[in-house]
Chain A
């Protein structure tokens, strides 16, 4: 069953046609990679799915709902989360508070004012911090964490919300090979309850972790399907050997 269906999505910036008639279907509880050369439209597509900007044409169906013109708040409340390409955390808050801020967003204003639900969240927060190797930095300011840990923190902020669909824009950007490997290991256990759409430049890493890939080139879908199929695709090889 598809949790995300993108039908004929187009996006134009001035005279630049960034996306042109994109059709993609993402199956539930799979890891789906978006790859392509620089400027192929990967991040633009991800932003259209997350609501950072809206598609000019076409529809985005998430979990049976047409969310094409819905606000980011609506999408987030219904289980669609985005990890930004440039790490987007709250640098002046502690690591713990970053996670708390993420998980408490579903509470009512009254509950927030009275801080009623806070104590009940502690165990869940600490388990997530443990999972992402951040427990010993719980009280450290997020802005003082290393780049790799900030990336993990941002992923942890999404994972703790148990989203139905998590969009990761270059989750291993700026990481060492060891950190990339560890990031893959951190993500694999969430497959049971979350579908992942990942934009990534590291082809070896994304082939390792994903079930399906969509290859974009110049705003169009060049090819898509299981990783094995894409690996054999002559069209994809051509693009990656001539354009990257």
Chain B
């Protein structure tokens, strides 16, 4: 059997979600727009984890660290130097995320022997925990109270308040990050990552320096997490120890598992679903004291009984992995 006529649902889901997110602010109030903006920013965190786990097989609990580190740095720039220009905040976020993740990659991934999954998972977990503890006790960065940002994100003298404009800025940044990530995972580099995820040892025997590729993706993903952290700090006007520790790192894992690993859109759906459920549950008086338990049970049920996540109800495993080599029409005709 040569042809594979299985339907492609991923592009349809991507377009539907994109259109939905573009028009959403027209139908919701200002408060809900702010909530949705937060979800878009967390979408960057989720994509960042997905690039590591879903595409490269790196189980990391460090994405929260890169997210929080960038958030703290832009908050310090705002508080100590009064710098809140968006044209500076975005590159600072990217750079801090990239540098921090490269250092972690160098320590955990670039050793002489390929590291075990559990080694990387525990290593990143330890770094996240240590960073959270460090900022909690460090008065200069606000200690346990974190850092508040009192000035709005600006472009020149124009202030960008949380609301519809911030929503579209965050949405555009998420879209650009998504498209770049999508391009990467669909390229020949994506094939290398797919091979690494399936059979790392074989890749080494084909001549690939697997650890280098992993470190590259880890650093790129760290930059995206950093970008998310920088936007988050300015959107919320606050960054605290909880935004850079194990909690937020674990949320990145849950967003991906809930939405569905192996596609970039799955984690974004995961963010929207989890944050919407959390928001609604926490708003119901009867559930106020124990809504996290209900959320936990829902997550557990999905992750246990539908390991492919929500996206797995529609998109097959085959479609998620995709094909990388396109057989030319000439060769195709010769075979048929």
Residue positions of A touching B, CB distance < 8 A: 50-52, 71-73, 76-77, 81-82, 84, 88-94, 96-97, 99-102, 104-107, 109, 111-115, 117-119, 121-123, 125-126, 135-141, 157, 161
Contact of A138 with B327 in the complex, beta carbons under 8 Å: yes
B31 CB-CB contact with A under 8 Å: no
- Known interface pairs A73-B209, A90-B198; A118-B188 also in contact (CB < 8 Å): yes
**Chain A residue, CB-CB nearest to B216:** A109
CB closest residue in chain A, given B183: A113
A-B contact pairs, 22 of them (CB 8 A): A90-B194, A92-B317, A93-B321, A96-B325, A97-B191, A97-B194, A97-B325, A101-B192, A101-B195, A104-B188, A104-B192, A105-B206, A105-B208, A106-B207, A109-B212, A113-B187, A113-B188, A115-B188, A118-B188, A118-B326, A139-B4, A140-B1
Task: For the complex formed, measure the closest distance between the CB of A98 and the CB atoms of chain B, giving whole angstroms.
Answer: 8
Q: A138: nearest residue on chain B (CB-CB)?
A: B327
Which B residue's beta carbon lies closest to that of A81?
Answer: B205
Looking at the assembled complex, report how far the CB atom of B55 sits from the nearest CB atom of chain A, in whole angstroms: 13
Interface pair B195/A126, CB less than 8 Å apart: no
Q: Are A73 and B187 CB-contacts (below 8 A) given A94-B325, A97-B324, A125-B325?
A: no
What chain B residues lie within 8 Å of A123 (beta carbons)? 328, 331
| Given known A-B contacts A92-B317, A93-B198, A139 and B327 have beta carbons under 8 A apart | yes
The answer, yes or no, to whether B201 is at the interface (CB within 8 Å) is yes
Asked, given contacts A82-B205, A93-B321, whether A139 binds B3 with beta carbons under 8 Å apart, the answer is yes
A112 touching B194, Cβ below 8 Å: no
Contact of A77 among B1, B192, B207, B317 (CB under 8 A): B207
Given contacts A126-B335, A135-B335, 20 further A-B contacts (CB under 8 A): A71-B204, A72-B204, A72-B205, A76-B207, A84-B202, A88-B201, A88-B202, A93-B321, A94-B325, A97-B194, A97-B325, A100-B188, A104-B191, A111-B188, A113-B184, A113-B187, A118-B188, A118-B326, A122-B325, A136-B1
Question: Are the CB atoms of B2 and A136 closer together than 8 Å?
Answer: yes
Per the CB 8 Å criterion, the residue count for chain B at the interface is: 37
Chain A contacts for B301, CB-based, 8 A:
none
Query: Does B172 make an interface contact (CB < 8 A)?
Result: no
With a cutoff of 8 Å between Cβ atoms, the chain A residues found around residue B317 in the complex are 92
How far is A82 from B188 in the complex, measured between Cα atoms in Å?
Answer: 23
Counting chain A CB atoms within 10 Å of each CB, the highest count among B199, B202, B325, B328 belongs to B325
Q: 5 smallest A-B Cβ distances: which pairs? A: A76-B207, A100-B325, A112-B188, A105-B207, A112-B189
**B318 close to chain A: CB less than 8 A:** yes
B206 touches A93 (CB 8 A): no
CB-defined contacts of B280 to chain A, threshold 8 Å: none
B182-224 Cβ-contact flags toward A at 8 Å (1 or 0): 0010011101101100110110111111001100100000000
Q: How far is the CA of A76 from the CA of B325 in the complex (A)?
A: 22
Asked whether, in the complex, the Cβ of A126 is within 8 Å of the Cβ of B327, the reply is: yes
A88, B199: Cα distance in complex, Å: 8
Check: B29 CB closer than 8 A to any chain A CB.
no
CB contact under 8 A between A139 and B323, given known A72-B205, A102-B206: yes
Interfacial chain B residues near A71, Cβ < 8 Å: 204
> Which residues of B lie under 8 Å from residue A84 when comparing CB positions?
202, 205
Query: Distance in Å from the Cβ of B144 to the closest Cβ of chain A?
Result: 42
How near does chain B come to A162, taking the closest CB pair, in angstroms? 13
Interchain CA distance A119-B324 in the complex, whole Å: 11
User: Please, how many angstroms separate the alpha-carbon atoms of A154 and B334 in the complex?
Assistant: 24
Check if B324 sits within 8 Å of A73, measured CB to CB.
no
User: B2 near A137 (CB under 8 angstroms)?
Assistant: yes
Nearest-Cβ distance from residue A15 to partner chain B, whole angstroms:
25
* Cα distance, A91 to B317, chains bound together (Å): 12
B185 to chain A, nearest CB (A): 11
Given contacts A113-B187, A122-B328, A139-B3, contact A73 B208 (CB under 8 A): yes
A37 to B207, CA, bound (A): 31
Of all chain B residues, the one with the shortest Cβ separation from A98 is B195
Are B209 and A94 interface neighbours, CB within 8 A? no
A52 cross-chain contacts in B, Cβ below 8 A: 205
Q: Are B206 and A92 in contact (CB under 8 A)?
A: no
On whether the beta carbons of B321 and A138 are closer than 8 Å, the reply is: no
Contact with A along B302-336 (1 / 0, CB 8 A): 00000000000000011001011111100100110
